[in-house]
C-alpha cells in the first residue's frame, strides 16, 4: 500500500529543514531572519528603516542580522507571570513592614 504525500507534508518537512539550517547560522539574510523570527519580510524592512531592530548593511543595500542580536531583540519587553508579580508584591510588603 502506498501512502499519499500531500503538499502540507512537504511544506512541513521544508519548515523543519529550514529551521535546522537557520539555527546553525550566525548571520542571517532578511529572508532567513523573517523565517527565524516568524515575521514578514516587509515588517522587517519597516523595522530596519526606522532603526528599531539591530542590523547590518555592509554595502548599503543588502541587510543582514546577527542571530544572537535578533534573539535579544525578540526577548525584549518580557511580560512577568502572575506568580512572579505576586511574589514581588509579597516581598515588597515584607520589606515595607506592612
Q: What is the pLDDT of residues 3-18, one digit of tens each?
A: 788 898 888 888 877 7
Structural domain includes residue 1:
no
| Host domain of residue 44 | 22-93
Domain of 36, CATH number, reads 1.10.1660.10
Torsion angle of C-alpha atoms 11, 12, 18, 21, degrees rounded to 10:
-140
Structural domain includes residue 10:
no
56 phi and psi, to 5 degrees?
-125, 140
15 phi and psi, to 5 degrees?
-60, -40
Structural domain includes residue 49:
yes
In whole angstroms, give the CA distance from residue 34 to residue 38.
6
- Residues 6 or more apart whose Cβ sits within 8 Å of residue 81: none
Structural domain includes residue 2:
no
Per-residue pLDDT reduced to its tens digit, 38-77: 899 999 999 999 999 999 999 888 999 999 999 999 999 9
Structural domain includes residue 76:
yes
Question: Domains in the chain: how many in total?
Answer: 1
Amino acid at each position: 500500500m502506498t501512502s499519499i504525500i500531500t503538499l502540507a507534508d512537504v511544506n512541513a518537512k521544508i519548515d523543519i529543514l529550514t529551521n535546522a539550517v537557520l539555527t546553525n547560522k550566525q548571520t542571517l539574510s532578511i529572508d532567513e531572519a523573517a523565517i527565524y523570527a516568524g515575521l514578514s519580510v516587509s515588517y522587517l524592512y519597516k523595522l530596519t528603516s526606522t532603526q528599531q531592530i539591530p542590523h547590518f548593511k555592509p554595502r548599503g543595500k543588502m541587510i543582514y542580522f546577527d542571530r544572537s542580536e535578533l534573539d535579544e531583540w525578540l526577548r525584549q519587553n518580557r511580560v512577568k507571570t502572575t506568580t512572579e508579580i505576586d511574589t514581588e508584591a509579597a516581598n515588597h510588603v515584607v520589606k515595607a513592614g506592612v
